[in-house]
Amino acid sequence: MGKYSIGEFEEVVLLTVAILFENAYGISIKEEIEKRLSRKVSVGAMRTALNRLEKKGFLISEFGEATAVRGGKRKRFFKVTPYGKDALEQVMETRKQLWDAIPSIAFDFKFA
């Protein structure tokens, strides 16, 4: 994985943030992941992942406007940094290389 250390769940979160683009905040990310991956995500797990990603420099965040729906609390919007993009590309690249290295016979299950 080289210079980028990123976990599987972190990768999912980071990709989701990229998908949502300018509307990536806690709940939207959570719902997007739940929708696309059909798995349950707790606010706690997601928020700590976002936190870690931000600390690693893959994400930046800023507050949006306050809305009444949230008890007057502002949303925190996340955006993928170029560095984060590099990390995602690197992960994909590594995966691809690994896939390419698999001999075709390995997945030939006919004789198994």
Partner 1 sequence: MSESMNISPPKLPLKFLKWFCNPDMVEDVEGDISELFSKRLKQNKLKARLFFTLDVLLLFRPGMIRKFEPINKIINYAMVRNYIKIAQRNAVRYKGFTLLNLLGLVIGIAASTLILLWINDEVRMDKFHTKGDKIYQLFRNMRQSGGIVNTTFTVPKPAADMLRNEYPEVTQTTQVSWPVTFRFSLEENGSDEVGRYVTPEFLDMFSFPLIAGDKASVLADLSSIVVSETVARKFFGKDWREETIGKTLRLDGTRDAKITGIFEDIGDNSSLRFDFLLPAQEFYSRNDWVDDWGNGSFGVYFTVDNEIAAKTVAERVLNEIKVHAAGQDNAGDEELVIHKYQDYYLYSNWDNGVINGGRIDYVNIMSVVAVFILIVACINFMNLATARSGRRSKEIGLRKVMGAHKKSISIQFYVEAFLLTSIAVVLAIGIVIVLLPYFNILVEKSLFLDFTLLQTWVYFFGIIIVVTVLSGSYPALLLPTFNIIQSLKGTVKQSSGAAYFRKGLVVFQFAISTLLIIGTSVVYKQINYILTKDLGLDKENLVAVSMEGDLGRRLDTYKTELMNIPEVKAVTGSSGNPLNYGRSTSSANWEGKSPDAGYEINIMLTDYDFIQTMGMDMKLGRDFSNELADSTNFIINEAAAELMGFDDPLQKDLSFWGIDGNIIGVVKDFHMADMYEPIAPLIITCISPGSSSVAFVRIQGSPNSALKSIEKVTKEFNPAFDFDYQFVDESFAETYRAERTLSTLAGIFAVISILISCLGLFGLSAFTAERRSLEIGVRKVHGASVPQILVLLSKDYSKLMLIAFILAIPFGYYFTQKWLDDFEFRTALDPFVFLIAGILTFLIGVLTVSAKSYQAATVNPTDSLKDE
- What span, in angstroms and rounded, lies between the C-alpha atoms of 25 and 58? 15
By beta-carbon proximity to partner 1, the closer residue of 47 and 79 is: 47
Q: In the stretch 1-30, what mask flags binding to partner 1 with x, by CB under 8 A? A: ------------------------xxx--x
Are 78 and 25 in contact by the 8 Å Cβ rule? The answer is yes
Closest CA to 93 of 16, 3, 33, 19: 3
Q: Which of 9, 52, 79, 90 binds partner 1 (CB under 8 A)?
A: 52
3-state DSSP assignment of residue 24:
coil
Q: Which of 5, 42, 97, 104 binds partner 1 (CB under 8 A)?
A: 42
DSSP single-letter state for residue 12: H
What is the total count of residues that contact partner 1 (CB under 8 A)? 21
In whole angstroms, the minimum distance from the beta carbon of 86 to partner 1 comes to 24
AA identity, residue 24: A
- Number of helices followed by number of strands (H, E) in the chain: 4, 2
Among 53, 75, 87, 91, binds partner 1 (CB under 8 A): 75
Rule CB under 8 A: which residues touch partner 1?
A: 25-27, 30, 42-45, 47-48, 51-52, 63, 68-71, 73-76
